Chain A
Amino acid sequence: MNDALRILPEIVLVIAGVVLMLADAMMAKQSSRKPLGWLAVVGALAALAASLWQYELPPGTAYFGVVQTDAFSVFFHVLIACIVLVSLLITIDAVKDSTEGLGELFALMLFGAVGMMFMSGATELLLVFVALEISSISTYIMAGFRRKSAKSPESALKYFLLGSFATAFFLYGIALIFGATGTTRIEAIAAAVGAGNTPALIYVGLAMIIIGLGFKVSAAPFHVWTPDVYEGAPSPVVALMSTGPKAAAFAVLLRIAYGAFPLLHTHWVPALWWLAVLSMTIGNLGALRQRNVKRMLAYSSIAHAGYLLVAFTALSAEGIAAASFYAVSYAAMNVGIFAVISHAGEYDDRLTLIDDYRGLAYRSPLLGGAMAFFLISLIGIPFTGGFFGKFYVFAAALHSGLVWLTIIGLINSGIAAYYYLRVVTAVYSRPAEASPVMAVPRPSMPLLLALFLTAAATLVLGIVPTGVLARARQAAQTYPAFSQTAGTPLSER
Chain B
Amino acid sequence: MLNDSILTWITFMPAAGAVVVALLPRKGRVIQWFSLLVTLVTFVLSLHLPAHFDYAQHGFQFEENHPWISSPAIHYHLGIDGLSLWLVLLTTFLAPIGVLVSWRAIKARTKEFYFLFLLQQTAMIGVFVSLDLFLYYGFWELSLVPMAVLIAMFGRNRGPQAALKFFLYTFLPSALFLVAIIWLYAKTGTFDFVELQSRLAGGGFAPEALAWVSLAFLVAFAVKVPVFPLHGWLADAIQEAPTAMAMVIAGKLGLYSILRFNLGLFPVQARAIAPLMIVVAVVGLLYGALVALAQSDMRRLIAYSILSHLSFCTLGIFCFALAGLNGAVYQTINEGLTGGALLVLVSLIYERYDTCDMSMFGGLAGKLPMLATLYVITSLALVGLPLFNGFVGEFLVLSGGFPVHPGWVAAATVGVILSASYMLWMVQRIFYGRQSSLVVHRPALDLNAREHIMLWPMAVLMLAMGVLSPYWIKGIETGVGGLANAPAATARATFDAAHHGQPARTEAVSMEKQ
Contact = CB atoms under 8 A, between A and B. Distances in A.
Interface of A: 361-362, 365, 372, 376, 379, 381-383, 387, 391, 394-395, 398-399, 403, 406-407, 410-411, 413-415, 417-418, 421-422, 424-426, 428-429, 464-466, 469
A421 B179 contact: no
A425 B186 contact: no
Contacts of B138: 382-383, 387
A464 B175 CA distance: 22
Nearest to A418: B168
Contact of A414 (B139, B171, B186): B171
Interface string B112-149: 10000000000000000000000001110110110011
A415 B175 CA distance: 10
Given A381-B145, A417-B167, A422-B164, 4 more contacts: A387-B138, A410-B179, A417-B171, A429-B160
Contacts of B72: 395
B167 A421 contact: yes
Contacts of A376: 145
Contacts of B71: 469
A429 B159 CA distance: 8
A425 B112 contact: no
B152 A394 contact: no
A466 B70 contact: yes
10 contacts: A376-B145, A383-B138, A406-B182, A407-B179, A414-B171, A421-B148, A424-B152, A428-B153, A429-B152, A429-B159
A194 B150 CA distance: 59
A417 B168 contact: yes
A399 B186 contact: yes
Contacts of A398: 179, 182-183, 186
A69 B340 CA distance: 62
B174 A382 contact: no
B294 interface: no
Contacts of A414: 168, 171-172, 174-175
A361 B138 CA distance: 25
Nearest to B152: A425
Q: Which of A382, A391, A403, A424 has the most CB of B within 10 A?
A: A382
A492 B431 CA distance: 65
The 5 closest A-B pairs by CB, nearest first: A382-B138, A425-B152, A425-B160, A414-B175, A414-B172
Contacts of B178: 391, 394, 410
A379 B178 CA distance: 14
A421 B151 CA distance: 12
Interface string B155-189: 00001100110011001101110110011011000
B224 interface: no
A379 B185 CA distance: 22
A381 B144 contact: yes
Contacts of A395: 72, 182, 185-186
B215 to A, nearest CB: 13
A403 B176 CA distance: 11
Contacts of B152: 424-425, 428-429
A233 B34 CA distance: 46
A456 to B, nearest CB: 14
B172 A382 contact: no
B495 to A, nearest CB: 43
Contact of A425 (B137, B142, B163, B175): B163
Contacts of A391: 178, 182
Contacts of B109: 361-362
Nearest to A362: B109
B69 interface: yes
B252 interface: no
Contacts of B160: 422, 425-426, 429
Contacts of B171: 379, 414, 417
A406 B181 CA distance: 12
A425 B153 CA distance: 7
A387 B72 CA distance: 14
B186 to A, nearest CB: 5
A323 to B, nearest CB: 16
A391 B69 CA distance: 13
B111 interface: yes
A382 B141 contact: yes
Contacts of B112: 361, 365, 428
A22 to B, nearest CB: 46
Contacts of B167: 417, 421
Nearest to B178: A410
A390 to B, nearest CB: 8
Nearest to A417: B171
Nearest to B69: A466
B426 to A, nearest CB: 31
A394 B70 CA distance: 18
Given A381-B142, A395-B72, A422-B164, A428 B183 contact: no
Interface string B58-91: 0000000000011110000000000000000000
Given A365-B111, A411-B175, A425 B182 contact: no
Q: Which of B137, B174, B182 has the most CB of A within 10 A?
A: B182
A464 B70 CA distance: 10
Contacts of B148: 421, 424-425
Given A398-B179, A410-B175, A382 B142 contact: yes
A293 to B, nearest CB: 16
A361 B175 CA distance: 28
Contacts of A410: 175-176, 178-179
B36 to A, nearest CB: 22
Nearest to B216: A407
A413 B109 CA distance: 31
Contacts of B145: 376, 381
Nearest to B176: A410
Q: Which of A372, A383, A415, A428 has the most CB of B within 10 A?
A: A428
Nearest to A466: B69
Contacts of A406: 179, 182
Contact of A418 (B164, B179, B186): B164
A418 B109 CA distance: 25
B149 A372 contact: yes
A421 B164 contact: yes
Nearest to B71: A469
B144 A382 contact: no
A198 B182 CA distance: 38
Contacts of B141: 381-382, 387
Contacts of A399: 186
Given A382-B142, A383-B138, A410-B178, A428 B149 contact: yes
Contacts of A429: 152-153, 159-160
